[in-house]
Structure 1
Amino acid sequence: MNLLTEESDPFCLSPASAAGLLAGAPWRRFATIGDSLSAGTGDPSPGYANLGWADRVADILRRVHPDLAYLNTAEIGATTARTLATQTDRMIAFGPDLVHVPCGANDLFHPEPDFTAIERTLRRVFELAAGTGAQLTTFTLGRAFVVPRFPDWHDRVRALNAITRELALHHDAVLVDMWSHPVNSRPNLLSPDRVHFSTSGQAVMASELVKGLARVLGTHRETSG
Protein backbone atom coordinates (compact mmCIF):
# COMPACT_ATOMS: atom_id res chain seq x y z
CA MET A 1 0.00 0.00 0.00
CA ASN A 2 1.31 3.44 -0.93
CA LEU A 3 0.85 5.35 2.31
CA LEU A 4 1.13 9.11 2.34
CA THR A 5 3.59 10.87 4.57
CA GLU A 6 3.79 14.50 5.51
CA GLU A 7 6.41 15.01 2.80
CA SER A 8 4.34 13.35 0.04
CA ASP A 9 0.89 14.57 1.07
CA PRO A 10 -0.34 16.87 -1.73
CA PHE A 11 -2.32 18.97 0.74
CA CYS A 12 0.59 19.60 3.12
CA LEU A 13 3.08 22.42 2.94
CA SER A 14 6.61 21.84 4.10
CA PRO A 15 7.62 24.07 7.03
CA ALA A 16 9.92 26.03 4.74
CA SER A 17 7.20 26.55 2.12
CA ALA A 18 4.68 27.57 4.78
CA ALA A 19 7.10 30.04 6.31
CA GLY A 20 7.80 31.42 2.87
CA LEU A 21 4.13 32.10 2.31
CA LEU A 22 3.97 33.98 5.61
CA ALA A 23 7.19 35.93 5.13
CA GLY A 24 6.55 39.48 6.24
CA ALA A 25 3.43 38.49 8.21
CA PRO A 26 2.70 41.01 10.96
CA TRP A 27 1.37 38.55 13.54
CA ARG A 28 3.38 38.25 16.73
CA ARG A 29 0.68 37.29 19.27
CA PHE A 30 -1.36 34.23 18.33
CA ALA A 31 -4.27 33.09 20.49
CA THR A 32 -6.52 30.06 20.09
CA ILE A 33 -9.76 29.64 22.02
CA GLY A 34 -12.52 27.06 22.01
CA ASP A 35 -12.78 23.28 22.13
CA SER A 36 -10.77 20.21 21.12
CA LEU A 37 -10.88 21.26 17.46
CA SER A 38 -9.28 24.57 18.41
CA ALA A 39 -6.78 22.73 20.61
CA GLY A 40 -5.68 20.47 17.77
CA THR A 41 -6.59 17.23 19.53
CA GLY A 42 -5.88 14.08 17.53
CA ASP A 43 -4.05 10.75 17.67
CA PRO A 44 -0.76 10.10 15.86
CA SER A 45 -0.63 9.11 12.18
CA PRO A 46 2.37 7.18 10.79
CA GLY A 47 4.51 9.46 8.66
CA TYR A 48 3.26 12.70 10.23
CA ALA A 49 4.69 14.75 13.09
CA ASN A 50 2.69 14.31 16.28
CA LEU A 51 1.47 17.89 16.43
CA GLY A 52 -1.96 19.50 16.31
CA TRP A 53 -2.78 22.14 13.75
CA ALA A 54 -2.51 25.07 16.19
CA ASP A 55 0.96 24.13 17.43
CA ARG A 56 1.99 23.65 13.81
CA VAL A 57 0.82 27.13 12.86
CA ALA A 58 2.57 28.60 15.90
CA ASP A 59 5.80 26.86 14.85
CA ILE A 60 5.47 28.29 11.33
CA LEU A 61 4.86 31.79 12.67
CA ARG A 62 7.95 31.43 14.90
CA ARG A 63 10.00 30.89 11.76
CA VAL A 64 8.86 34.36 10.72
CA HIS A 65 8.96 35.95 14.19
CA PRO A 66 11.04 33.93 16.68
CA ASP A 67 9.62 36.02 19.52
CA LEU A 68 6.03 34.95 18.77
CA ALA A 69 3.79 34.83 21.84
CA TYR A 70 1.30 31.97 21.73
CA LEU A 71 -1.74 31.35 23.95
CA ASN A 72 -3.98 28.30 23.58
CA THR A 73 -6.79 28.16 26.13
CA ALA A 74 -8.89 25.63 24.18
CA GLU A 75 -10.24 22.72 26.21
CA ILE A 76 -11.76 19.39 25.28
CA GLY A 77 -15.55 19.42 25.61
CA ALA A 78 -15.94 23.21 25.73
CA THR A 79 -19.22 24.48 24.33
CA THR A 80 -19.52 27.89 22.76
CA ALA A 81 -21.10 29.16 25.98
CA ARG A 82 -18.25 27.78 28.08
CA THR A 83 -15.69 29.33 25.76
CA LEU A 84 -17.43 32.68 26.13
CA ALA A 85 -17.59 32.37 29.92
CA THR A 86 -14.11 31.03 30.69
CA GLN A 87 -11.73 31.84 27.84
CA THR A 88 -12.53 35.18 26.24
CA ASP A 89 -11.26 37.27 29.17
CA ARG A 90 -7.87 35.55 28.98
CA MET A 91 -7.79 36.01 25.22
CA ILE A 92 -8.52 39.75 25.52
CA ALA A 93 -5.94 40.21 28.29
CA PHE A 94 -3.34 38.50 26.10
CA GLY A 95 -3.70 41.23 23.47
CA PRO A 96 -3.53 39.06 20.36
CA ASP A 97 -3.12 40.18 16.78
CA LEU A 98 -4.22 36.78 15.42
CA VAL A 99 -7.07 34.79 17.00
CA HIS A 100 -8.58 31.43 16.11
CA VAL A 101 -12.21 31.15 17.21
CA PRO A 102 -14.27 27.95 17.52
CA CYS A 103 -17.17 26.82 15.35
CA GLY A 104 -19.32 25.28 18.09
CA ALA A 105 -18.90 21.54 17.51
CA ASN A 106 -19.79 20.53 21.06
CA ASP A 107 -23.06 22.44 20.89
CA LEU A 108 -24.28 19.79 18.47
CA PHE A 109 -24.24 17.04 21.09
CA HIS A 110 -27.38 18.41 22.75
CA PRO A 111 -30.46 16.24 21.98
CA GLU A 112 -32.10 19.27 20.36
CA PRO A 113 -29.57 22.00 19.52
CA ASP A 114 -30.90 25.54 19.79
CA PHE A 115 -29.30 27.09 16.72
CA THR A 116 -30.65 30.55 17.57
CA ALA A 117 -28.84 30.44 20.91
CA ILE A 118 -25.74 28.94 19.32
CA GLU A 119 -25.64 31.72 16.74
CA ARG A 120 -26.11 34.39 19.42
CA THR A 121 -23.33 33.03 21.63
CA LEU A 122 -20.94 32.34 18.80
CA ARG A 123 -21.56 35.83 17.44
CA ARG A 124 -20.53 37.26 20.81
CA VAL A 125 -17.33 35.21 20.78
CA PHE A 126 -16.50 36.53 17.32
CA GLU A 127 -17.30 40.10 18.40
CA LEU A 128 -15.01 39.92 21.43
CA ALA A 129 -12.21 38.41 19.40
CA ALA A 130 -12.63 41.02 16.65
CA GLY A 131 -12.69 43.75 19.30
CA THR A 132 -9.01 43.09 19.99
CA GLY A 133 -8.22 44.27 16.47
CA ALA A 134 -6.82 40.86 15.61
CA GLN A 135 -7.14 38.94 12.36
CA LEU A 136 -9.62 36.12 13.00
CA THR A 137 -9.51 32.55 11.71
CA THR A 138 -11.94 29.64 12.01
CA PHE A 139 -12.88 26.26 10.52
CA THR A 140 -16.06 24.62 9.38
CA LEU A 141 -16.61 21.03 10.47
CA GLY A 142 -15.68 18.27 8.05
CA ARG A 143 -18.21 15.80 6.73
CA ALA A 144 -16.08 12.83 7.88
CA PHE A 145 -17.04 13.72 11.47
CA VAL A 146 -20.22 11.70 12.13
CA VAL A 147 -22.04 10.85 15.37
CA PRO A 148 -24.25 7.84 14.60
CA ARG A 149 -26.59 8.32 17.54
CA PHE A 150 -27.92 11.45 15.87
CA PRO A 151 -29.51 10.45 12.52
CA ASP A 152 -29.67 14.12 11.53
CA TRP A 153 -25.99 14.73 12.29
CA HIS A 154 -25.04 16.06 8.85
CA ASP A 155 -28.03 18.41 8.93
CA ARG A 156 -26.80 19.70 12.28
CA VAL A 157 -23.31 20.23 10.91
CA ARG A 158 -24.63 22.01 7.81
CA ALA A 159 -26.67 24.39 10.01
CA LEU A 160 -23.69 25.13 12.24
CA ASN A 161 -21.34 25.57 9.30
CA ALA A 162 -23.75 28.09 7.79
CA ILE A 163 -23.58 30.14 10.98
CA THR A 164 -19.79 29.95 11.00
CA ARG A 165 -19.55 31.03 7.36
CA GLU A 166 -21.81 34.03 7.93
CA LEU A 167 -19.86 35.18 10.98
CA ALA A 168 -16.53 34.66 9.24
CA LEU A 169 -17.71 36.74 6.30
CA HIS A 170 -18.98 39.51 8.59
CA HIS A 171 -15.67 39.72 10.46
CA ASP A 172 -13.33 39.16 7.48
CA ALA A 173 -12.07 36.01 9.17
CA VAL A 174 -9.92 33.48 7.36
CA LEU A 175 -12.28 30.54 6.92
CA VAL A 176 -10.89 27.07 6.27
CA ASP A 177 -13.85 25.16 4.89
CA MET A 178 -13.24 21.54 5.87
CA TRP A 179 -16.77 20.38 4.99
CA SER A 180 -16.00 19.89 1.31
CA HIS A 181 -12.26 19.28 1.54
CA PRO A 182 -11.06 16.15 -0.33
CA VAL A 183 -9.25 14.95 2.79
CA ASN A 184 -12.63 13.85 4.18
CA SER A 185 -12.49 10.76 1.95
CA ARG A 186 -9.31 9.39 3.51
CA PRO A 187 -9.98 6.19 5.46
CA ASN A 188 -7.37 7.04 8.12
CA LEU A 189 -8.42 10.64 8.62
CA LEU A 190 -10.15 10.21 11.97
CA SER A 191 -8.61 9.18 15.27
CA PRO A 192 -9.88 5.94 16.87
CA ASP A 193 -12.56 7.96 18.70
CA ARG A 194 -14.07 8.67 15.23
CA VAL A 195 -14.44 12.33 16.19
CA HIS A 196 -11.07 14.08 16.02
CA PHE A 197 -8.82 14.33 12.98
CA SER A 198 -5.62 12.33 13.37
CA THR A 199 -2.35 14.17 12.95
CA SER A 200 -2.53 13.62 9.19
CA GLY A 201 -5.69 15.73 9.17
CA GLN A 202 -4.14 18.19 11.61
CA ALA A 203 -1.27 18.70 9.18
CA VAL A 204 -3.68 19.41 6.35
CA MET A 205 -5.70 21.88 8.44
CA ALA A 206 -2.54 23.73 9.41
CA SER A 207 -1.46 23.98 5.78
CA GLU A 208 -4.88 25.20 4.68
CA LEU A 209 -4.87 27.86 7.40
CA VAL A 210 -1.42 29.03 6.33
CA LYS A 211 -2.70 29.31 2.76
CA GLY A 212 -5.67 31.32 4.01
CA LEU A 213 -3.42 33.68 5.95
CA ALA A 214 -1.21 34.01 2.88
CA ARG A 215 -4.24 35.15 0.91
CA VAL A 216 -4.68 37.95 3.43
CA LEU A 217 -1.07 38.92 2.80
CA GLY A 218 -1.42 38.50 -0.97
CA THR A 219 1.36 35.91 -1.08
CA HIS A 220 -0.60 32.70 -1.69
CA ARG A 221 0.04 30.70 -4.82
CA GLU A 222 -1.48 27.32 -5.67
CA THR A 223 1.45 25.06 -4.99
CA SER A 224 1.99 22.11 -2.70
CA GLY A 225 4.98 20.91 -0.72
Structure 2
Amino acid sequence: MLDAMTTDTVLTEQTDPYCLSDEDAAAVLVGAPWRRFAVIGDSLSAGIGDPSPGYRTVPWPERVCTVLRRVNPDLAYLNTAQIGTSTAKTTATQAERMLAFRPDLIHLPSGANDIWRSQPSYSDIEDDLRELYALAAATGATLTVFTLVKRFVVATIPDFAARVSRVNDITRRVAREYGAIVVDTWDHHINDRPDLLSADQIHLASAGQAVLAIEVVRALAGALNGVR
Protein backbone atom coordinates (compact mmCIF):
# COMPACT_ATOMS: atom_id res chain seq x y z
CA MET A 1 0.00 0.00 0.00
CA LEU A 2 1.26 3.46 -0.82
CA ASP A 3 2.29 5.81 1.96
CA ALA A 4 -0.40 8.14 3.22
CA MET A 5 -0.55 11.56 1.59
CA THR A 6 -0.25 14.58 3.82
CA THR A 7 -3.62 15.95 4.83
CA ASP A 8 -2.93 19.30 3.11
CA THR A 9 -2.15 17.72 -0.28
CA VAL A 10 -4.72 18.79 -2.89
CA LEU A 11 -5.58 15.78 -5.01
CA THR A 12 -7.64 15.23 -8.12
CA GLU A 13 -8.79 12.03 -9.72
CA GLN A 14 -5.79 12.26 -12.06
CA THR A 15 -3.21 12.75 -9.27
CA ASP A 16 -4.74 10.57 -6.56
CA PRO A 17 -2.27 7.70 -5.95
CA TYR A 18 -5.13 5.28 -5.23
CA CYS A 19 -7.06 6.04 -8.44
CA LEU A 20 -6.69 4.65 -11.94
CA SER A 21 -8.19 5.83 -15.19
CA ASP A 22 -10.98 3.63 -16.55
CA GLU A 23 -8.58 2.45 -19.24
CA ASP A 24 -5.85 1.49 -16.76
CA ALA A 25 -8.37 -0.15 -14.43
CA ALA A 26 -9.70 -2.25 -17.29
CA ALA A 27 -6.15 -3.31 -18.12
CA VAL A 28 -5.81 -5.06 -14.76
CA LEU A 29 -9.03 -6.97 -15.42
CA VAL A 30 -8.19 -8.24 -18.90
CA GLY A 31 -9.77 -11.67 -19.26
CA ALA A 32 -12.26 -11.10 -16.45
CA PRO A 33 -15.21 -13.49 -16.92
CA TRP A 34 -18.00 -11.46 -15.31
CA ARG A 35 -20.96 -10.50 -17.47
CA ARG A 36 -23.79 -10.00 -14.97
CA PHE A 37 -22.98 -7.64 -12.09
CA ALA A 38 -25.49 -7.19 -9.26
CA VAL A 39 -25.26 -4.85 -6.26
CA ILE A 40 -27.65 -5.16 -3.34
CA GLY A 41 -27.93 -3.55 0.07
CA ASP A 42 -28.17 -0.06 1.52
CA SER A 43 -27.03 3.49 0.69
CA LEU A 44 -23.38 2.39 0.83
CA SER A 45 -24.15 -0.14 -1.90
CA ALA A 46 -25.98 2.59 -3.82
CA GLY A 47 -22.87 4.77 -3.56
CA ILE A 48 -24.54 8.02 -2.53
CA GLY A 49 -22.34 10.91 -1.41
CA ASP A 50 -21.40 14.56 -1.88
CA PRO A 51 -19.32 15.84 -4.81
CA SER A 52 -15.56 16.31 -4.36
CA PRO A 53 -13.63 18.98 -6.30
CA GLY A 54 -11.43 17.36 -8.93
CA TYR A 55 -13.35 14.06 -9.00
CA ARG A 56 -16.21 12.85 -11.15
CA THR A 57 -19.47 12.65 -9.22
CA VAL A 58 -20.03 8.99 -10.04
CA PRO A 59 -21.01 6.34 -7.45
CA TRP A 60 -18.50 3.57 -6.90
CA PRO A 61 -20.74 0.77 -8.34
CA GLU A 62 -21.21 2.66 -11.60
CA ARG A 63 -17.46 3.22 -11.76
CA VAL A 64 -16.85 -0.52 -11.36
CA CYS A 65 -19.53 -1.26 -13.95
CA THR A 66 -17.85 1.11 -16.43
CA VAL A 67 -14.53 -0.68 -15.98
CA LEU A 68 -16.11 -4.12 -16.35
CA ARG A 69 -17.87 -3.00 -19.54
CA ARG A 70 -14.53 -1.99 -21.01
CA VAL A 71 -13.54 -5.63 -20.57
CA ASN A 72 -16.91 -7.15 -21.53
CA PRO A 73 -19.05 -4.57 -23.38
CA ASP A 74 -22.20 -6.70 -23.06
CA LEU A 75 -22.05 -6.70 -19.23
CA ALA A 76 -25.51 -6.47 -17.63
CA TYR A 77 -25.83 -4.45 -14.42
CA LEU A 78 -28.43 -4.42 -11.64
CA ASN A 79 -28.39 -2.28 -8.49
CA THR A 80 -31.33 -2.73 -6.12
CA ALA A 81 -29.82 -0.87 -3.14
CA GLN A 82 -32.23 1.06 -0.94
CA ILE A 83 -31.32 3.89 1.43
CA GLY A 84 -31.71 3.00 5.10
CA THR A 85 -32.37 -0.70 4.66
CA SER A 86 -31.15 -3.34 7.09
CA THR A 87 -29.57 -6.64 6.15
CA ALA A 88 -32.78 -8.53 6.95
CA LYS A 89 -34.85 -6.14 4.84
CA THR A 90 -32.34 -6.43 2.00
CA THR A 91 -32.91 -10.18 1.99
CA ALA A 92 -36.69 -9.75 2.17
CA THR A 93 -37.02 -7.09 -0.53
CA GLN A 94 -34.01 -7.41 -2.85
CA ALA A 95 -32.84 -11.03 -2.88
CA GLU A 96 -35.59 -12.32 -5.17
CA ARG A 97 -34.81 -9.75 -7.85
CA MET A 98 -31.09 -10.38 -7.47
CA LEU A 99 -31.56 -14.14 -7.92
CA ALA A 100 -33.82 -13.65 -10.96
CA PHE A 101 -31.08 -11.53 -12.55
CA ARG A 102 -28.74 -14.59 -12.54
CA PRO A 103 -25.58 -12.64 -11.63
CA ASP A 104 -22.07 -14.00 -11.82
CA LEU A 105 -20.68 -11.13 -9.69
CA ILE A 106 -22.53 -9.84 -6.61
CA HIS A 107 -21.67 -7.06 -4.19
CA LEU A 108 -23.16 -7.58 -0.73
CA PRO A 109 -23.80 -5.18 2.18
CA SER A 110 -21.81 -5.09 5.42
CA GLY A 111 -24.48 -4.38 8.05
CA ALA A 112 -24.06 -0.62 8.38
CA ASN A 113 -27.70 0.12 9.21
CA ASP A 114 -27.91 -2.81 11.63
CA ILE A 115 -25.71 -1.01 14.16
CA TRP A 116 -27.93 2.08 14.45
CA ARG A 117 -30.31 0.34 16.84
CA SER A 118 -30.16 1.43 20.47
CA GLN A 119 -28.94 -2.02 21.48
CA PRO A 120 -27.66 -3.94 18.45
CA SER A 121 -27.85 -7.72 18.63
CA TYR A 122 -24.60 -8.83 17.04
CA SER A 123 -25.72 -12.44 16.94
CA ASP A 124 -28.78 -11.35 14.95
CA ILE A 125 -26.62 -9.23 12.66
CA GLU A 126 -24.36 -12.20 11.97
CA ASP A 127 -27.33 -14.49 11.36
CA ASP A 128 -28.89 -11.97 8.96
CA LEU A 129 -25.65 -11.50 7.05
CA ARG A 130 -25.10 -15.25 6.88
CA GLU A 131 -28.59 -15.81 5.47
CA LEU A 132 -28.05 -13.22 2.74
CA TYR A 133 -24.56 -14.45 1.91
CA ALA A 134 -25.79 -18.04 1.71
CA LEU A 135 -28.44 -17.04 -0.84
CA ALA A 136 -25.86 -15.15 -2.87
CA ALA A 137 -23.25 -17.91 -2.68
CA ALA A 138 -25.77 -20.47 -3.91
CA THR A 139 -25.82 -18.67 -7.28
CA GLY A 140 -22.19 -19.62 -7.87
CA ALA A 141 -21.34 -15.95 -8.41
CA THR A 142 -18.18 -14.25 -7.24
CA LEU A 143 -19.05 -12.29 -4.08
CA THR A 144 -17.56 -9.00 -2.89
CA VAL A 145 -18.04 -6.89 0.22
CA PHE A 146 -16.21 -3.98 1.82
CA THR A 147 -15.70 -3.21 5.48
CA LEU A 148 -16.78 0.14 6.89
CA VAL A 149 -14.19 2.91 7.06
CA LYS A 150 -12.73 3.91 10.42
CA ARG A 151 -13.88 7.49 9.87
CA PHE A 152 -17.55 6.40 9.81
CA VAL A 153 -18.80 7.96 13.06
CA VAL A 154 -22.07 9.08 14.59
CA ALA A 155 -21.52 11.70 17.28
CA THR A 156 -24.80 10.93 19.03
CA ILE A 157 -23.75 7.30 19.61
CA PRO A 158 -20.65 7.34 21.85
CA ASP A 159 -19.66 3.72 21.19
CA PHE A 160 -20.20 3.89 17.43
CA ALA A 161 -16.54 3.29 16.54
CA ALA A 162 -16.65 0.08 18.57
CA ARG A 163 -19.85 -0.90 16.78
CA VAL A 164 -18.21 -0.37 13.40
CA SER A 165 -15.19 -2.43 14.43
CA ARG A 166 -17.40 -5.24 15.67
CA VAL A 167 -19.61 -5.40 12.58
CA ASN A 168 -16.47 -5.34 10.43
CA ASP A 169 -15.22 -8.41 12.31
CA ILE A 170 -18.54 -10.11 11.60
CA THR A 171 -18.36 -9.16 7.94
CA ARG A 172 -14.86 -10.59 7.61
CA ARG A 173 -15.90 -13.81 9.34
CA VAL A 174 -19.04 -14.39 7.27
CA ALA A 175 -17.23 -13.40 4.08
CA ARG A 176 -14.54 -16.03 4.75
CA GLU A 177 -17.24 -18.62 5.37
CA TYR A 178 -18.82 -17.97 1.98
CA GLY A 179 -15.69 -17.23 0.00
CA ALA A 180 -16.46 -13.54 -0.55
CA ILE A 181 -13.72 -11.12 -1.57
CA VAL A 182 -13.25 -8.55 1.20
CA VAL A 183 -12.18 -5.01 0.34
CA ASP A 184 -10.94 -3.93 3.76
CA THR A 185 -11.20 -0.15 4.09
CA TRP A 186 -10.97 -0.01 7.91
CA ASP A 187 -7.21 0.68 7.97
CA HIS A 188 -6.88 2.17 4.47
CA HIS A 189 -4.83 5.38 4.30
CA ILE A 190 -7.82 7.29 2.93
CA ASN A 191 -9.11 7.35 6.51
CA ASP A 192 -6.49 10.08 7.09
CA ARG A 193 -8.09 12.39 4.55
CA PRO A 194 -10.26 15.14 6.07
CA ASP A 195 -12.52 15.19 3.00
CA LEU A 196 -13.17 11.44 2.89
CA LEU A 197 -16.79 11.67 4.00
CA SER A 198 -19.78 13.68 2.88
CA ALA A 199 -21.24 16.39 5.12
CA ASP A 200 -23.32 13.76 6.93
CA GLN A 201 -20.07 12.06 8.11
CA ILE A 202 -21.54 8.74 7.00
CA HIS A 203 -21.28 8.37 3.23
CA LEU A 204 -18.11 8.59 1.18
CA ALA A 205 -17.71 11.76 -0.84
CA SER A 206 -16.89 11.38 -4.53
CA ALA A 207 -13.15 11.18 -3.84
CA GLY A 208 -13.78 8.25 -1.53
CA GLN A 209 -16.12 6.66 -4.08
CA ALA A 210 -13.37 6.86 -6.70
CA VAL A 211 -10.83 5.17 -4.44
CA LEU A 212 -13.30 2.50 -3.31
CA ALA A 213 -14.13 1.60 -6.91
CA ILE A 214 -10.46 1.03 -7.72
CA GLU A 215 -9.94 -0.99 -4.54
CA VAL A 216 -12.82 -3.23 -5.69
CA VAL A 217 -11.23 -3.52 -9.14
CA ARG A 218 -7.88 -4.39 -7.61
CA ALA A 219 -9.48 -6.99 -5.36
CA LEU A 220 -11.21 -8.56 -8.35
CA ALA A 221 -7.95 -8.59 -10.26
CA GLY A 222 -6.27 -10.34 -7.35
CA ALA A 223 -8.96 -13.03 -7.41
CA LEU A 224 -8.95 -13.62 -11.16
CA ASN A 225 -6.79 -16.73 -11.02
CA GLY A 226 -9.39 -18.34 -8.80
CA VAL A 227 -12.39 -17.62 -11.03
CA ARG A 228 -11.10 -18.07 -14.57
Aligned to 1:88: 95
Q: Specify which of 193, 202, 207 is matched with residue 195 of structure 1.
A: 202
Query: Of 156, 160, 168, which residue of structure 2 is paired with 1:153?
Result: 160
1:126 alignment partner in structure 2: 133
- More moved, 12-21 vs 131-140: 12-21
Q: Could you tell me which of 38, 45, 49 is aligned with 1:38?
A: 45
RMSD: 1.1
SS at match of 1:87: helix
Structure 1 Cα separation of the partners of residues 65 and 92 of structure 2: 25
Quote the residue 2:22 is aligned against.
Answer: 15
Q: What residue number does 2:3 align with?
A: none
Q: Which residue number corresponds to residue 101 of structure 1? A: 108
- Of 129, 141, 156 in structure 1, the residue corresponding to residue 148 of structure 2 is 141
Q: CA deviation at 1:3?
A: 1.3
Aligned residues: 219
C-alpha deviations, 1:108-162, integer Å up to 9, x for none? Answer: 1100001111100110100001111100000100011100111111111111001
| Aligned structure 1 segments of 4 or more residues deviating by more than 2 angstroms | none
**TM-score, scaled to structure 2:** 0.94
Quote the residue 1:212 is aligned against: 219
Superposed CA deviations along residues 148-204 of structure 1, whole A, max 9, x for unmatched, are: 111111111111001100111112211111110010110111111111000100000
| Runs (5+) with no aligned partner, structure 1 | 220-225
Mapped partners of 2:84, 2:32: distance in 1: 32
Give the aligned partner of residue 223 of structure 1.
none
Q: TM-score, normalised by structure 1?
A: 0.95
Instruction: Indicate the SS of the match to 1:70.
Output: strand
- Please tell me the residue identity of whatever aligns with 1:37: L
Map of 1:60 onto structure 2 = 67
Structure 1 residues 86-112: Cα deviation after superposition (integer angstroms, max 9, x where no partner): 000000000000000000100111000
